[in-house]
């Protein structure tokens, strides 16, 4: 979890969950709100705590799925995956805590700073492919690889959100919302057609993300989610035009965006195609404007202290120069 810079707690936000003192908001979505905190001793490394909305907590079916989600996430570990550190699926409002990584979601980076250079796209794809390899090795399919679920940090890219993952045998193990599982603009052809989803589906959607990261445009064009999903479903008849992409990326994109799942490389092979030995910490891998935005988020997060709940003395005043 993580992504945008911290925001002050609202009046109706809780101040403490299971001994974790909540210090700031760092995200909000349909399932719940994510807060910045630290270990129960208040001195440990930063933690992102996701608190589930009350309307979902009232559903016993949701609770069972959430508990399975947590157990599945704890079984997956590997590079570029944010690890679960604590949870309580039986609480009045269930919650899940992970390591906090200060960073910028890829979607925000593309919207605010434009396409990424080819070498950065290769690094991003390599890191995400390593993460997916760990997911697949553990027996799961992520099912929602998209720009909003890839976090850019100084340490490299991070794959987020196991909220709709499935076991590789097709058994649903994690939380779903509504009838559409996944994001239509970032589905594989087989997913869009309602067929069995395998690890090869994640490879296809990673190819979509890489293609968009390089040009700022979706390879299947503009339009609503279902319109784009329909084009993806027909990729065997009308594949995307990759001529605008840098030559260094075309081989990778052509391989990952192949219509037939059995013809795509594995996630581990994708990492190798990208150059799997990238040292993100040493490489200065992000372009300067994106790196500056990531640094600003990290600095703002570091300034969040236990007095963040008091607007007269907390971190927000210090950031504004008011205190």
Map tokens 């990729």 to a residue.
Answer: 235
In the set 108, 133, 144, 161, the catalytic residue is: 144
Residue 146 marked in a binding site: no
Listing from the earlier edge strand, what are the strands of the sheet with 150-153?
104-105, 150-153, 156-159
Question: Measuring CA to CA, which residue among 270, 247, 229 is closest to residue 136?
Answer: 270
CA distance linking residue 232 with residue 238, whole number of Å: 9
Angle between helices 288-302 and 106-113 (to 10 degrees): 120
Quickly list H helices, the chain.
54-57, 60-75, 106-113, 118-137, 189-192, 199-215, 225-233, 247-256, 267-274, 280-283, 288-302, 315-320
The backbone region for 57, taken as left when phi is positive above 0, alpha when psi lies in -120 to 50, beta otherwise, is alpha
Strands 32-37 and 16-17: unpaired
Active site residue 279: no
Annotated binding-site members: 50
Annotated binding-site members for ATP: 50
Positions marked catalytic? 144
């Amino acid at each position: 979890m993580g992504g945008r810079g911290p925001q002050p707690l609202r009046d109706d936000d809780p101040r403490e969950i299971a001994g974790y003192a909540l210090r700031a908001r760092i995200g909000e979505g349909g399932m719940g709100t994510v807060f910045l905190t630290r270990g129960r001793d208040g001195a440990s490394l930063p933690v992102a705590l996701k608190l589930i909305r009350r309307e979902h907590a009232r559903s016993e079916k949701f609770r069972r799925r959430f508990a399975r989600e947590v157990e599945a996430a704890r079984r997956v570990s590997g590079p570029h995956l944010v690890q679960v550190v604590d949870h309580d699926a039986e609480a009045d409002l269930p919650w899940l805590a992970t390591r906090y990584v200060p960073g910028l979601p890829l979607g925000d980076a593309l919207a605010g700073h434009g396409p990424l250079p080819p070498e950065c796209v290769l690094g991003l794809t390599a890191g995400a492919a390593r993460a997916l390899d760990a997911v697949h090795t553990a027996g799961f399919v992520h099912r929602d690889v998209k720009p909003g679920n890839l976090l850019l940090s100084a340490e490299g890219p991070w794959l987020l959100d196991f909220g709709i993952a499935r076991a590789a045998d097709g058994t649903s193990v994690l939380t779903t919302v509504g009838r559409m599982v996944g994001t239509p603009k970032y589905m594989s052809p087989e997913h869009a057609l309602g067929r069995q989803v395998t690890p090869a589906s994640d490879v296809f959607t990673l190819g979509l993300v890489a293609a968009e990261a390089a040009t700022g445009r979706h390879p299947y064009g503009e339009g609503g989610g279902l319109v784009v999903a329909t084009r993806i479903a027909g990729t065997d008849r009308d594949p995307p035009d990759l001529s605008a992409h840098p030559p260094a990326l075309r081989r990778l994109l052509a391989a990952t965006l192949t219509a037939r799942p059995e013809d795509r490389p594995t996630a581990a092979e994708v990492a190798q195609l990208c150059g799997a030995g990238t040292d993100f910490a040493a490489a200065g891998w992000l372009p300067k404007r994106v790196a500056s935005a990531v640094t600003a988020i990290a600095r703002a997060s570091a300034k969040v202290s236990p007095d963040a709940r008091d607007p007269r003395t907390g971190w927000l005043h210090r950031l504004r120069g008011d205190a």
